[in-house]
Amino acid sequence: MIKETWKEPWIKYLAALLGKADMEYNTAVFFVFLAVFLCLYFLLRNPTLKKRWILVGNLGFYLWSGWAAAGIVAATAAVICWTARRMEKIYRGFEEEKTGLSPKEQAARLLDYKKRTKKYLIGALTAVLGIWIFVKLGRFLGFGTAETLSEAIKNKGIIVPLGISYYSLSSIGYLLDVYWRKARAEHSFLDLFTVMIYFPHIVQGPIGKYETLLKQLKALPAFEYRRVCQGLQLMLWGYMKKMIVADRLVLYTSAVFAAPEDFAGVEILLAVLLSVLQLYADFSGCMDLVRGISQAVGIELAENFRQPLFARDAQEFWARWHITLGAWSKEYIYLPIAMNPRFARMTNRMKKRGRKWLASFLKAICPLTAVWLFTGLWHGTGVDYLVWGLYWCALMTLSKETAPLLNRLKTFLRVEPKRKAYRVFQSVRTYLLFAAGRTFTVAGGLAGCGLLWRQLFAGSRLWTLFDGTLYTHGLDQKDFYVAFAGIALMLFVDYLHERGISIRERIAGQKLPIRWAFYYGALFSLVVLGIYGPGFDAASFVYGAF
Amino acid sequence: MRDKVLEICRNIDDSIDFTSKELIDGGILDSVTLVEIATELMDEFDIDIPYEEITPENFNSIDAMTELVEKYV
């Protein structure tokens, strides 16, 4: 039997291996893909060829997830490209007509043109949102995923285009920007399609602005050792966060959240607290690695995390965590609602009638509720995610409305807000609020959340932390030490970044042996301490599922 | 006009230094205050400022805001 197997040509083995594997960022297939892609990319000199090679890379990456999905995304891109160009063409008429008109007349004429472009905008938005809602609803109703059209019809499954929640948001933003005349329409379909399915950001974001990415795509820089080296360092750091910390912690947290009834209160508390660090290491690790890859290519992706664990309150936390999602909802949901003339007139009328507090409250809460309901639904379709969204909305509103009262309390208690101890207290408080929010969704819905909280207080059984029981749930003692060392390193790096220190610049300033000791140390620790999942199937990234 | 715009802004939050030319880019105005100012300007001058005009360039300074209002009055 063994003899027969060895007779098979090795290339067939490799093909079979690659055929079965998923193309996730932490798989062997992806490493092979990336190495081939980058090596050939660096050899190219012609800017057009470079752009097209990126498109080939994107298609290779995307087609791995199925032809039908790629077909849907290509059709969506075609609709977006055509609509944006159509809207721009209509506005060109306005540009020609406006010369000689007063600003007021111009504003009036523009309204007519906007009415005409709106038809196209609504058509394209319906198409993009329609597909997205269909996929979300399909998931909510429990339909399985299918790879081909015939499979979808036969097994009543849905085709889920890779990264649909990410490219849909970017596309909607792009269409609205062209409609509001904040961005120019892209005339090259291939360029637009390239940035839309750009492989470093298609799976988990960051949710980029096509205009910014297109500008960079059209001016790709030449190979530069320093940039590529720094990009690869960032990539390596991302892999370390993901494979040493996140994939290790998840073994423990997922065991606890799968059956909270089997665990002691203190073990559940630890799992809830660690789940924040696990998510942070997972998601920000992925962002570091994709930003690193993109930096090597010469395209700077938007920053998605800015030391969120140092945030002092809920508002600051969300300005530092998943920044691009927050920025998107602020620009395309919060401000358009808050600035809506009818809404503004209504609240102003209220104010004039003496209901000042109610007007200001409504002004803040209506757009905020819309943002958080959207954020909740973006993460998942269940009721648990809606509650999670409302939880954050309530926290933000409470913190704003009680600010004057708390300030008075601080003065009364003589609390010095600039003191380090107070800042640490604020960060810990924010961390705990985030951890509490996680309980709504981590244990499989609201019933799981209830069970988690009940169990948390049912029996704390403190001794399980010390008698060795803790080390029997998926992570042994050594693994816990490694995870904690990884967390300490991650927080130290964040602390340095918070102080404005660029670590990669510092490393670049060192002598060659020290530099390479760093690189080898990082690579070696990744190889030795990285978790490769059961059967060497790498663990999936959390945010790739949205 | 400029004085009126400045007065409206000060009424909303007098702790902000409105002489700055980087109210938005410098992170001095948060989105809640920006909305307050924009809607108050709409109300006070009885104008509709379209959403596309809510850009950093139009709200970075009192002069920029005045220019914006003058366009719609």
Instruction: Write the DSSP assignment of A63-100 as a string of letters.
Output: HTT-HHHHHHHHHHHHHHHHHHHHHHHHHHHHHHH-TT
CA distances from B57 to A140, A260, A421, B33, B62 (A): 43, 53, 39, 16, 11
Chain A, residues 93-112, CB within 8 A of chain B, namely 103-104, 107
* Predicted model pTM: 0.86
Give A327 to chain B, closest Cα distance, Å: 11
What residues of A are in contact with residue B70 (Cβ under 8 Å)?
103
Residue A100 backbone class (left: φ over 0; alpha: ψ -120 to 50; beta: rest): left
What is the rounded CA–CA span in Å between residue A169 and residue A185?
17
Interface ipTM: 0.84
What is the rounded CA–CA span in Å between residue A195 and residue A179?
20
Q: Do B31 and A107 touch (CB under 8 A)?
A: no
- Closest-CA residue to A336 (of B28, B22, B38): B38
Q: How many C-alpha atoms does A371 have within 13 Å on its Cβ side? A: 25
Counting one residue from chain A and one from chain B, the pairs whose CB atoms sit within 8 A come to 51
The residues with which A158 forms a beta bridge, in sequence order, are: A145
**3-class state of residue A145 by DSSP:** strand
Nearest CA in chain A to B48: A341
H or E, element range at A461 = none
Chain B, residues 32-51, CB within 8 A of chain A, namely 32, 35-36, 38-40, 42-43, 48-51
Q: Do A339 and B32 touch (CB under 8 A)?
A: no
Q: Do A104 and B71 touch (CB under 8 A)?
A: yes
What is the rounded CA–CA span in Å between residue A392 and residue A322?
14
What is the rounded CA–CA span in Å between residue A508 and residue A273?
35
Cα A7 off chain centre by: 46
What residues of A are in contact with residue B39 (Cβ under 8 Å)?
338-339, 344, 347-348, 363
Question: Within chain B, what is the greatest distance between any pair of CA atoms?
Answer: 29
The total number of residues shown for chain A amounts to 546
What residues of B are in contact with residue A104 (Cβ under 8 Å)?
71-73
Q: Do B70 and A344 touch (CB under 8 A)?
A: no
Which residue type occupies A78? A
What residues of A are in contact with residue B38 (Cβ under 8 Å)?
339, 344
Q: Which residues contact A65 (CB under 8 A, 6 or more apart)?
A: A23, A147, A161, A162
The DSSP call for residue A481 is H
* Cβ atoms A87, A178 nearer than 8 A: yes
- CATH number attached to the domain at B2-72: 1.10.1200.10
Instruction: Kindly list the averaged pLDDT for each block of 10 residues, start to end, along chain A of length 546.
Output: 50 58 76 92 92 94 82 92 95 86 81 92 94 82 70 72 90 95 92 94 91 94 90 92 91 88 87 94 94 94 93 89 92 90 84 81 86 87 86 88 83 82 91 93 84 83 75 83 93 92 84 85 82 54 60
Instruction: Write the DSSP assignment of A36-57 as a string of letters.
Output: HHHHHHHH---HHHHHHHHHHH
CA distances from A419 to A225, A314, A416, A433 (A): 43, 19, 6, 21
Q: Do B31 and A341 touch (CB under 8 A)?
A: no
H or E, element range at A216 = helix A210-217
CA distances from A184 to A81, A169, A427, A509 (A): 11, 18, 41, 41
What is the rounded CA–CA span in Å between residue A202 and residue A324?
14
Return the residue in A114, A184, A333, A339 with the most chain B beta carbons within 10 A, the one to mutate for interface testing.
Answer: A339
The DSSP call for residue A244 is I
Nearest CA in chain B to A360: B36
Phi, psi of A50 (to 5 degrees): -60, -45
Which stretches of A359-502 are assigned E, i.e. beta strand? Answer: none
* Cβ atoms A164, A139 nearer than 8 A: no
Phi, psi of A187 (to 5 degrees): -90, -25
Asked if A348 reaches chain B (Cβ–Cβ under 8 Å), the answer is: yes
Tokens of A304: 């998605």
Nearest CA in chain A to B39: A344
